[in-house]
A and B are shown apart, each in its own frame.
Chain A
C-alpha cells in the first residue's frame, strides 16, 4: 500500500468524487420517487372510501372525513388499551363499516337519486359527529408513534412506515379490482350501478347491495384513517385535513371508472404536489392541487377516468372481436 504511486492516488480520488456525485444524484432521485410514491399513497388512501361510495351509488359522502376520524379513534383507543397496532387497524375497518351500515339504513337510504340532498345531509352528519366527538372525548387523544423505524440513503432519510403504506395502497387496489371483477358481490354491485331496476328484476337484492357498498366505503375510510393515524394529530376535527385532498382526488378522477380514476388522479396529483411542495412549501403544494383540479376539469369535465374508461372499453371490444 505504501508503494502506491501518486498518480494512481489522484485518479482514484477523482473516481471517488464521481461516485459520490452519482450517489447524490441517485439518492435525490430516490427521494423524489419516495416523495411521489408516498404522496400518491396518501391521496389514494384519503380518497378510497369516498370513491367506492361515489362510483357505485352516486352519493357524495361529506361525512367521509369523520368516518376516517372514527377509524383513527378506534385504532388509537384500542392501541393504547394494549391491542397490537395492525390488529387495531383491522378492528377500525369493522367499526367504521358497522357505523357506515347504520348510517346507510337510517339516513342515506332516503337520498338515492338526490345527489345534492345527500351531500347536505351527510354534511349535517359530519357536523354532529365532529362536535359530538369533541364533547365526548375532549379536544385530542394521545397519539400513536410511527411504527417501523426509518433508514437513510445518502443525505435523505426514508420512513419505513410510509413505504408500507404505499405497499398497502397497492394491495388495496389489487384487492378492490378482484372484489369488483371476480366475485359475485362485485358482479351484482356493477349490475345495480348500471341499471338498478333491471338488476332487481333479475333477483339482485339491490338495497342490500347499497348497504354493503356504503358499509365497505365507510370501512375503507376507517381503515385509511387508522393507517394514517400515526402520522397526524388525533383530534375531533382531524377529518378536515383529509377533506381537501380526498375530494380533489375524486373530482380529478371522475366517476366513470372510480378505481382507475382514483389511481390515475392520485398519481397526477402527487406529480403536481411533490415538486411544488418541495420547492415552495406545503401550502403552495395544496394551492397547486386546487389549480390543477380546476384546469383538469376544465379540459376533461368528467375527470381522468372518462378517457381511461373509453380506452378500456375499446380494448375490451377489440379483444371480443
Chain B
C-alpha cells in the first residue's frame, strides 16, 4: 500500500499537496455527478472531450518524459478505430464481437507501432527523423484509406468507404450490456482515470526514472548499463496503445470514422495539447486536452472557420512565450500563491 501511494505521489508530476488531492477529488466528483444535471447531448459532448485524453497522455509520456516526438500518433488512433470497425462490424449480432474488436484494434495499433519503432529506435536515428517519418506514415495511411471507396474494398461485410469513411460501427458492448449515452460517459471517465493513475505510477517507478534519464542524456544512460533502444521502443508502443484506446473510444462514440481523422490537421492536435499543457506533466496535458477539445468543438460547431487558425496560433504563442506549457505555468503560479498564503501562520 505504501509503495502504491509513493508511486502515485512521487515527484514526476505536478500536484502532490493535500490541497491538490482534495481539489482533484472534488473535480472527479463533479464529473461523476455531471450526467445527473446535464442533457444527453452535453454528456455526449463531454464524453468526446474525455475520450481524447488517453491520446494526449500517450503523447505526454512519449514526448515529455521520453523525449521522443511523434507527429503520427493519429495513425495508431486510426488503425485501432478501423480495425475495431472491421472486426465488430463483421461479428455484429455476437455479444462479444465488440470486445474482440477492442482487442484486435489495440493489437493492430501496437503491431504497427512495434514494427515502425523497431526500424527507428534500433537504427538509433537522429532525433528529428522520428517525427518526420511518423508524419509520413500517417499521411500515407490517410492516402491509402482515402482511395478505398467502392465495393472492392470490403473486409467481410464491412466497407472501408474511401473519403466518406466507415459508417455504422457498432457500440461497445460486453455480453448483453451496451455502452451508449450515460454508460459510455462513465466508461470514458473510468478509462481516463485508470490511464492517468497508471501512467503516473509508471513515470514514478524505476522504469519512469530511466526514461526521463534517456530524455536528459541518452549516452550517459546507456553507459550506466540501460538498453535505451528497448526502453524507447516500449514507451513508443505503449503510447501507441493509448492512442489506439482513444481511437477505439472515438469510433464507439460516433459510430463512424473517416480518413481525415488520420490527416495532417488531426495529427497536429495531440502535439498541440501536449505543448500547450506542458510536456513535463501528465495532468497538465490531460487538462489541456480536455480544454482544447472543448474549445475547438464549440468553435467549429458554431461554424467558426477560425478554429484551426486559433489553435495553430495558440501553439506558436505557447512555444514562443511559454515554452514550458501554459497549464504547468499556471499551476506553478497557483502553487506559489498557496504556499505564500499558507506560510505566515506556520512560521511564527
Contact = CB atoms under 8 A, between A and B. Distances in A.
Given A127-B311, A247-B135, A286-B143, A121 B319 contact: yes
B308 interface: yes
Given A117-B323, A120-B315, A251 B129 contact: yes
Interface of A: 60, 107, 110-111, 115-117, 119-121, 123-128, 130-132, 134-135, 237, 240, 243-244, 247-248, 250-251, 255, 283, 286-287, 290, 293-295, 297-299, 301-302
B128 A115 contact: yes
A132 B123 CA distance: 39
Contacts, number: 118
Contacts of A124: 268, 272, 312-316, 319
A131 B319 contact: no
B140 A286 contact: yes
Nearest to B137: A290
B235 interface: no
Contact of A127 (B123, B144, B265, B319): B265
Interface string B244-283: 0000000000000000000011001001100100000000
Given A119-B128, A132-B309, A294-B119, A240 B264 contact: yes
A247 B136 contact: yes
B320 A107 contact: yes
B268 A123 contact: yes
B42 interface: no
Interface of B: 63, 67, 69, 71, 116, 119-120, 122-129, 131-133, 135-137, 139-140, 143-144, 147, 264-265, 268, 271-272, 275, 305-306, 308-309, 311-316, 319-320, 323
B219 to A, nearest CB: 15
A283 B316 contact: no
Given A127-B265, A294-B133, A116 B128 contact: yes
B319 A117 contact: yes
B136 A125 contact: no
Contact of A287 (B122, B135, B140): B140
B321 to A, nearest CB: 10
Nearest to B122: A298
Contacts of B305: 131, 134-135
B268 A127 contact: yes
B277 to A, nearest CB: 13
Contact of A119 (B67, B69, B313): B69
A-B pairs, 8 with minimum CB distance: A127-B312, A124-B315, A124-B316, A121-B319, A128-B312, A131-B308, A294-B119, A247-B132
Contacts of B127: 115-116
A205 B44 CA distance: 57
Given A124-B315, A128-B316, A244-B140, A297 B309 contact: no
A127 B71 CA distance: 13
B136 A290 contact: yes
Given A120-B315, A121-B316, A250 B132 contact: yes
A127 B271 contact: no
Most buried by A among B116, B122, B271, B308: B308
Contacts of A297: 119-120, 123, 125, 129
B1 to A, nearest CB: 39
Contacts of A293: 133, 136
B136 A301 contact: no
Contacts of A130: 308
